[in-house]
Every structure is written in structure tokens, then in C-alpha cells.
Structure 1
Amino acid sequence: MAHYFVGDIQGCFEELQLILAKVDFNPSKDELWAVGDLVARGNGSLQTLRYLKSLDASAKITLGNHDLHLLALNGKVKRPNPKDHLDELLKADDLPQLIDWIRKQPLVQTLPSHNVIMTHAGVPPQWDLETLLTESKAVSEALQEDDYIKSLIAKMYTDEADLWDSKSTGLVRLRYCINALTRMRYLNTDGSLDFLCKTPITEKSSELTPWFEFDSELKRSHTLVFGHWAALMGVVNQPNMQALDTGCCWGEHLTLWHLETNEKIEQNKIYN
């Protein structure tokens, strides 16, 4: 069995098919691990979701901020952004089935046999594995509630839940987990999340540090696979890190990482 990890697809379905063809991906014996942000800027969000759903157990998914935003759009909490090219998806006859499938996807996937952890944006350096699994499970359970739109999705849009507090409860705790695992890039000196800066800082800042440069228990014991931060273009200069968002939807390329060979395969953006 081969394990292939793919960066943010963002509806770039044609590029996804081309990159999988390059490695002769066979779902009967291989697994495709997707770091989240399955939908949005590309033109093939509907096809992407249908394909990944069809892979069943051969697809391992983590939810990204755009995937959660799709739940908000479906629940009429937010209005569509024309730049996201989601009209076809939102009008699809099988949208309810696709939404139910998305709700069942977690915020974290682990591969214990290889000590690999996959999330969309990263893992807070304050967390150990037990905390990561416990907090993400709480969000997954909240997404399965009948009133998840009203109780969670409609209330998750906030920058206030930016600092981990093990004593926090309820919605505050869920919000922090969502913000950390789907939106995190930089941390302030106190470990709180910064939501403003997205571009790599060329000179070391006294205030902001990429989350992956903080020391952490999981950083030493596992390979951390993430996407979300296209501006990095896959460069983190850290051991045990795989940054896979390389901006395909922005005109760059899609990246596939083959775990067993440690090889990265690229597919340039296709312009039709």
C-alpha cells in the first residue's frame, strides 16, 4: 500500500486527476490523504467532492477552513463569494449527501504505523497527542448534532478564541480548536494565534513566529503534515514537517507527497 498526501485541492479537480495519474494511484491498494480545503477557488469543487467521497475508506480527509465555510454557505449563515466558484456545487442534486459526508470528516488524521499526523493548518505547540485527539473529537461530535448550523457553524466566526486555555469550556473551546487546526499560521510571543499576517516574514520578527518553529512534543515525535499556507510554497526548513499547500488555485501547482519514498510530485495549474 502506498500513502499519498495531497495539498489544498481547492476545487482544482483536473490537476488532481493528472497528479494521481502520474503515480498510477489505485484506490484498491493505495490511500489518498487530503489536508483539507477541498473546495473553493477552482472550478471543480463539485467533482472533487464526488470523487473523494467515491473513494470511501481509501480517502483520508481533514477539514479545512473552506470546507467548514461550505457548511456555513449551505446553512445560509454566509453568502457565497463569486471568487469561490461554488455555484455548481451549491445547486447540485446530491449536495445534501455531500454535506453529510463533509460533516463526518475529522479535523485530524493519524497514521500510527508511521507516526504521521495530518491537519489542515497545523498543530498548536502547546498540545500533546491526547489533547489534539480529544479537542478535535469534540468538534467532530458537535458537527454531528442535528442543530450543528445554529449551535456551532453560525458561532465559529470569531478571532477571539486565539489562546489555548485548558480550563475553557463549551463553545470557547470548540472555537479555539477550529481556529488552531484550520486557520493557524503565526503565533504571538504568548502563544496566541495571529490572524492577520499570511505572508512569510523575511526577517525574524520579535513578535510573530510561525507555529512550526515553536518547540513541541509532537514536533519531536511525529511527522506533521499540513497545508493552508500557500505563501510558504512548501518550504519550512524544519525536520518532520511536510507543508503541502503550493497554491495550485492561485496559478502555481498541486503537490503530492509519497510517504514511503519521501518523494514529492507536482502538477502545474491547467489553464483552459
Structure 2
Amino acid sequence: MATYAIGDLQGCLDPLEALLEQIQFDPAADRLWFVGDLVNRGPQSLEALRFVRDLGERAITVLGNHDIHLLGCYFGTRVARGRDTLEPILTAEDGDELIDWLRRRPLLHHDPTLDWTLVHAGIHPAWDLETAQTAARETETAMRTTEPVAFFGEIFGNQSDHPDGNPTPIDRQRFAINVFTRMRYCQADGRLDFAEKRPPADADPALTPWFAMPERAMADQRIVFGHWSSLGPARARANTWDIDQGCLWGHQLTALRLEDEALFAIDCPGAQKPKGAK
């Protein structure tokens, strides 16, 4: 039995099927962990969402920022953007069922037996595991039980960018979503920076990747995440693995076998080009 963490799909199902063939995925014995962003920008958002949903208990997926964006579009609090490929989901006959399934996915998954934690973007450096789990559970419960137009009408925004100064539940929940699905860099005081997406060598030197922050509370615990395709080759960094290698942009889709940290990858044809690319 093996557990494979899979990088951001973003609507690229064909590369996933090729990767599963490469690793000889055995659905009777193996398990898959998806780092989120199952959908958007790629050509098979609907098919990818159905495929992962249909894996049932053989797969665990956490929510990514593109998944949250899809939920906002479905409930009418977000507007699809120019390069989005969400319309097939929004108009599918089983769209309501898929959205209900997606809305019930976690923001964080921890397996104490494997001693690994799965998130989309990261875990705030000030948070230990218990704090992160509490923030995730509160936000997941609100997402599933609050009137959805009210919840998704308030949850987006940059104003919740620091673990302190979130006086209301929705402020805390917005901050949790920003951490788990959007975070890359932190300022010295732990405040999130939402603008910088470049790799550390090119970034503002006043910013630090979340996983490299001094005295990070979970520095001794293993975390696998995605979201940051410009970070560089997949490798262990301070007990963390970033496995988003930009399949959407024509790079690679990766699988990390958690039991021994063996890495597998396939080249992807690329569904879109990053902004500014020729």
C-alpha cells in the first residue's frame, strides 16, 4: 500500500491518468492525496472534478483557491474571469452534486500514522498543528452550514492578512482561507503578502516564504502543498514539499510517495501560457 500526493490538476485530467499509469496506481491498495485546485484554466475541469469525486474513499483532496473561486461563482458572489474554464461545471446536469461534494472537502488533512499534513498553499508560521486544525474546522463548518450566498459573499478579500486583529468569525474564516489557499510570502511580522508570486531569488527581500519564516511552529512536522508553481523544482524545503510543478503551463505533474518521499513526474503538454509568456 502506498500514498501518493498529487500536484495541482487545474482541469488537466489526461496528465493525471498518465501519471497514475506510470506509478501503477492500485485502487484496491493505494491512496491519493490531492493538494487542491482540481479545476480551472485547463480544458477538462468538469472531467477532472468528476474523476476525483468518483475515486471515493481512495482519494483525499483539500480545497485550493481555484476550487473556492468555483464555489463563489456557483453561488453568485464571484464572476468568472477571462481564462476560467468553469462554465462546463456550472451548466452540467450533475453540477449541483459536484458543487455539494466540493463544498464538503477539507482545508487541511492530517494523518498521524503517516505523520504528514496536506494543505493547498501552506500553514501560517505562527500556527502549531492544533491551531491550524481548529482554524480549518471552524471554517469548514461555516462553509457547509452557513447560508452559502452570505458566506461566499464575505469570504473573499485581502483585508484579513494577519493572525491577530480578526474580531469576528467571518474575519477569522477569511484569514484561514487566505492562509490555506493563497499564502506564499509573509512579512517579518507574519502578515501575508498577496501580490508577490515570483520565486524567492526574484522577490522583494523584505518577504520570506512562509515555510522559511524563523521559529515556524510546525518546522519539525512534514507538510505537502501545492499552489506555487514558480517556486522551482519539487524538493524538500524545511520539512515541506511543494509539488505544484505547473502542469497547466506545460511543465510537469508530480506525485510524491509519502512513505519514502520518492518523486514521480510526467511532462505535460500545457493548456495555457502564463501571463506575459510568448
TM class by smaller structure: over 0.9
- 1:241-260 aligned within 5 A: 241-260=240-259
Superposed displacement of residue 164, structure 1 = 0.3
Q: How many residues align?
A: 270
CA contact (8 A) 1:9 1:39 kept: yes
- 1:86-101 equivalences under 5 Å are 86-101=86-101
Could you report, residue by residue, the CA deviation over 1:83-116 in whole angstroms, capped at 9, with x for unpaired residues?
1222222211000000000011000011111210
Partner-residue secondary structure (3-state), 1:217: coil
Match of 2:226 in 1: 227
Matched, 1:102 2:95: no
* 187-196 or 227-236: bigger deviation: 227-236
CA distance 1:87–1:115, change in 2 (3 Å): same
Cα distance in 2 for partners of 1:254, 1:51 equals 16
Question: 1:5 & 1:73 partners in 2: Cα distance?
Answer: 27
Structure-1 separation of matches of 2:82 and 2:21: 30
Deviation at residue 261 of structure 1 after TM alignment:
3.1
- 1:52-82 deviation line (CA, Å, top 9, x unaligned): 1111111111000000000011112122223
Structure 1 CA distance for aligned equivalents of residues 270 and 67 of structure 2: 24
SS in 1 for 2:107: coil
> How well do the aligned residues superpose, as a CA RMSD in angstroms?
1.7
> What residue in structure 2 maps to residue 210 of structure 1?
209
In structure 1, the residue matched to 2:12 is: 12
Residue 276 (structure 2) aligns with: none
CA distance in 1, matches of 2:204, 2:166: 30
Matched-pair contact (CA < 8 Å) for 1:257–1:264: yes
1:54–1:203 Cα change, 3 Å: closer
**Farther off after superposition, 261-270 or 185-194:** 261-270
Q: Provide the rounded CA distance (Å) in 2 between the counterparts of 1:197 and 1:271.
A: 23
Counterparts of 2:62 and 2:126 in 1: how far apart (Å)? 20
Deviation at 1:146, TM superposition (A): 5.0
Contact 2:114 2:259 survives alignment (8 Å): no
1:116 is aligned with what amino acid? Answer: W
Q: Quick one: which amino acid aligns to residue 199 of structure 1?
A: R
1:1-272 equivalences under 5 Å are 1-145=1-145, 147-150=147-150, 152-165=151-164, 168-202=167-201, 205-214=204-213, 215-220=215-220, 222-235=221-234, 238-270=237-269
Counterpart of 2:124 in structure 1: which amino acid? P
Q: What is the CA distance between 1:231 and its match in structure 2?
A: 0.3
Task: Between 184-193 and 72-81, report the one with greater CA deviation.
Answer: 72-81
TM superposition score normalised by structure 1: 0.94
User: Secondary structure at 1:33's aligned position in 2?
Assistant: strand
- Measured in 1, the distance between the counterparts of 2:119 and 2:25 equals 22
Amino acid at match of 1:92: A
Q: Which amino acid aligns with 1:10?
A: Q
AA aligned opposite 2:145: E
State the SS of the aligned residue for 1:63: coil
Residue aligned with 1:114, SS: coil
Q: Distance in 2 between matches of 1:247 and 1:236?
A: 14
Structure 2 portions without partners, runs of 5+: 272-278
Q: Does the CA-based 8 Å contact 1:11-1:41 persist in structure 2?
A: yes
- Counterpart Cα distance in 2 of 1:186 and 1:129: 19
Q: Return the offset for 1:233.
A: 2.9
| Structure 1 residue 180, shift from structure 2 partner | 0.6
Tell me the distance in 2 between the aligned counterparts of 1:235 and 1:19.
16
Give the 3-state SS of the residue equivalent to 1:76 in structure 2: coil
TM-score by length of structure 2 reads 0.92
Query: Percent identical across equivalent pairs?
Result: 37
